[in-house]
Amino acid sequence: MLIITLLLSFYLTSPVFGLMKVTTYNLWNIMFNWDVRKYRIARMIREEQSDVIGFQEVRFDAETGRNQVSDLQKLLPEYQWSFISKANDVSRKDNSIHRGWKGEGIGILSRYPIVSANRKVVPYQQGPDTNKRVIIHAKVRTDHSGILDVFVVHFSYVRQQQCENADALLHLLRERSYRYVVILGDMNVYNDFEWPLKLLTSKRRTDFKGCIPQLESFRRKRQTFLDAWTEVHGLEEAGYTFSNMPSPGLESRPDRIIVNSKMEIKAASLTGDGSFYKDKYSSSISFHRLKSLIHHSYLSYMGVTGYACLQDCGPHGSCRCGMCVKGDNSNNCDLPNCQECNQDTYKNIVLFAFVFIFVCFHIFFAVLIIFINGADFRREAVFQILGCNCCLCHPDNFKKHRSSTRVKLFRCCMRWPLFRMPPFYLLLFSILSLAIALYSFNKVFVDSFRTISMVMDEEYYPSDHLMLSAVIAI
């Protein structure tokens, strides 16, 4: 009897027989080192073990064919199905030197087959937000429940226009009878204006007085919908997801997972704060900023002029050499006027690269000869070089090297005067030269290193939103 009870319990709780995990996440477009952030976001998705993920602020690069969802899909091969929809072209400064990543929209990623997907354009009526809004409707075939109808949305940031967006979503939901419905989105709702969500989740007319023009949609609503977070945590836990910044900190809950009442919500969770990202990826961020500085110094050398960042660094940051740095935006500089990445910087980079290669090659040659001498090298004992019987104090290391080798390359090297020095002295000379080169390098590039180190606090977060996930039973 006990065995039967355990088997029945496993049957009811196994993912194969009814549980799915759905997630919504705002990708924050290409702010702050996308080619670093994407690895953390992919890791978060894998750790959450989400089955379906809806994304907002997805950027598209028409020139390369890239988009952010496909970038994540390459890192997550288990998610074989995706669908994306462009909504708008992003405006940039007139003098911006970067032309890619112009499109922005929404997308979905799934480990289950997406049997069909389409988009619906939300009609624009009036208001200051002229950005086009779209809704993705994807039919996801699961192993246990047939079809799950997933709707991905990104509502307007204007209050009354959010009511219109919710109204358009309700119209779409009434077009057909859907058995299992999940709505994933950044709905941009404010703490003092939840009426657009009330159109979906409330049963009482008085609960949506802020969206009076949409009263007819409320009356004709066919299904009851539930907010995943409040169903699990109630009103005791705020569940804030934005803004995920040191200041002002989390302050609202625009990200929502809404399901219809035919499903039971088992759990809801948040992830994605900056502590792990900062601890584990700070070196990658610094390296990415270094590459940006070198690239933009090359552009300065080539005569490129203009604004160097892919995005606006905001009121608390400045754009220098393609990077956002701490400080107000009065410190902006356009190429080639940034002294830390001007054409002289690129010339110095090339010069020092040559010096380091030159010195390191001499160090390598000196060490090689010392190993050969320590191994008591003979023509018939070449492989003894890899032995452990080398000695730095071998007498031959203090004598001019004269080799009778038949290796043509080695004989050519010996024509260089420095290579005929005693190996021990050549090694000391090379190490001293390397130390001088490193000291000079730090002095010459002090401004460049300072710019690289001036990382904005926001840059240590994978997004300005948290990732919201919910486990649903079907």
pLDDT class of 5 with cuts at 50, 70, 90 = very low
Residues 396 and 465 in one domain: no
Residues 443 and 468 in one domain: no
Residues 465 and 436 in one domain: no
Beta strands 146-154 and 181-186 are parallel
Residues 167 and 56 in one domain: yes
Distance CA 20, CA 103 (A): 31
CA-based R_g, the chain, Å: 31
Residues 183 and 87 in one domain: yes
Distance CA 347, CA 410 (A): 32
Of residues 303, 309, 412, the one with CA closest to residue 365: 412
Q: Which of 178-182, 207-211, 441-445, 469-473 is the least confident region?
A: 207-211
User: Tokens for 164?
Assistant: 């219109």
Query: Do 261 and 247 touch, CB atoms closer than 8 A?
Result: no
Distance of CA 101 to the CA centre of its chain: 14
Partnered with residue 26 across adjacent β-strands are: 56
Average pLDDT over residues 106-118: 94
User: Tokens for 225?
Assistant: 């919908």
pLDDT class of 4 with cuts at 50, 70, 90 = very low
Distance CA 463, CA 461 (A): 5
Residue range 257-288, pLDDT digits in tens: 999 988 899 999 999 988 899 999 999 999 99
Residues 6+ apart with CB under 8 A from 86: 60, 103, 104, 105
Q: Determine, yes or no, domain membership for 2.
A: no
Beta strands 52-61 and 19-26 are parallel
CATH code of the domain containing 258 = 3.60.10.10
Query: Do 306 and 92 touch, CB atoms closer than 8 A?
Result: no
Average pLDDT over residues 187-208: 82
Distance CA 346, CA 301 (A): 7
Q: Determine, yes or no, domain membership for 306.
A: no
pLDDT class of 397 with cuts at 50, 70, 90 = low
Distance CA 97, CA 309 (A): 8
Query: Do 173 and 143 touch, CB atoms closer than 8 A?
Result: no
Distance CA 98, CA 386 (A): 51
Residues 245 and 361 in one domain: no
Distance CA 240, CA 250 (A): 6
Residue range 131-170, pLDDT digits in tens: 999 999 999 998 766 899 999 999 999 999 998 999 899 8
Q: Answer yes or no: is pLDDT of 179 > 50.
A: yes
Question: Which residue has better confidence, 470 or 371?
Answer: 470
pLDDT for the residue 364: 87
Residues 243 and 184 in one domain: yes
Distance CA 323, CA 341 (A): 11
Average pLDDT over residues 221-231: 85
- Mean of per-residue pLDDT scores for the chain: 85
Distance CA 271, CA 324 (A): 25
User: What's the structural domain count of the chain?
Assistant: 2
Residues 466 and 413 in one domain: no
Q: Answer yes or no: is pLDDT of 449 > 50.
A: yes
Query: Do 310 and 295 touch, CB atoms closer than 8 A?
Result: no
pLDDT class of 207 with cuts at 50, 70, 90 = low
Q: Determine, yes or no, domain membership for 299.
A: no
Beta strands 317-320 and 323-326 are antiparallel
Distance CA 92, CA 98 (A): 9
Query: Do 353 and 424 touch, CB atoms closer than 8 A?
Result: no
pLDDT for the residue 376: 56
Q: Determine, yes or no, domain membership for 319.
A: no
pLDDT class of 427 with cuts at 50, 70, 90 = confident
Can you give the length of the chain in residues?
Answer: 474
Query: Do 200 and 183 touch, CB atoms closer than 8 A?
Result: yes
Residues 202 and 75 in one domain: yes
User: Tokens for 331?
Assistant: 């410190």
Q: Determine, yes or no, domain membership for 334.
A: no
pLDDT for the residue 444: 92
Instruction: Give backbone dihedrals phi and psi of 267, rounded to 5 degrees, phi first.
Output: -160, 155
Distance of CA 386 to the CA centre of its chain: 44
Q: Determine, yes or no, domain membership for 328.
A: no
pLDDT for the residue 16: 41
Residues 245 and 359 in one domain: no
Query: Do 73 and 45 touch, CB atoms closer than 8 A?
Result: no
Q: Determine, yes or no, domain membership for 385.
A: yes
pLDDT for the residue 436: 94
Of all residues in the chain, the percent with pLDDT exceeding 90 is 54
Residues 243 and 121 in one domain: yes
- Please give the DSSP secondary-structure letter assigned to residue 65: T
pTM of the entire predicted model: 0.84
* Domain span at 430: 345-447
pLDDT class of 410 with cuts at 50, 70, 90 = low
Q: Answer yes or no: is pLDDT of 15 > 60.
A: no
Beta strands 133-142 and 146-154 are antiparallel
Residues 407 and 468 in one domain: no
Q: What burial class does residue 258 get, using C-beta atoms within 10 Å of its C-beta: 0-12 exposed, 13-18 middle, 19+ buried?
A: buried
- Residue at token pair 């890192």: 75
Of all residues in the chain, the percent with pLDDT exceeding 70 is 85
Q: Determine, yes or no, domain membership for 293.
A: no
Query: Do 413 and 419 touch, CB atoms closer than 8 A?
Result: yes
- CA neighbours within 13 Å on the CB side: how many for 193? 15
pLDDT class of 14 with cuts at 50, 70, 90 = very low
Residue range 340-390, pLDDT digits in tens: 999 999 999 999 999 999 999 888 888 877 777 666 544 444 444 544 444
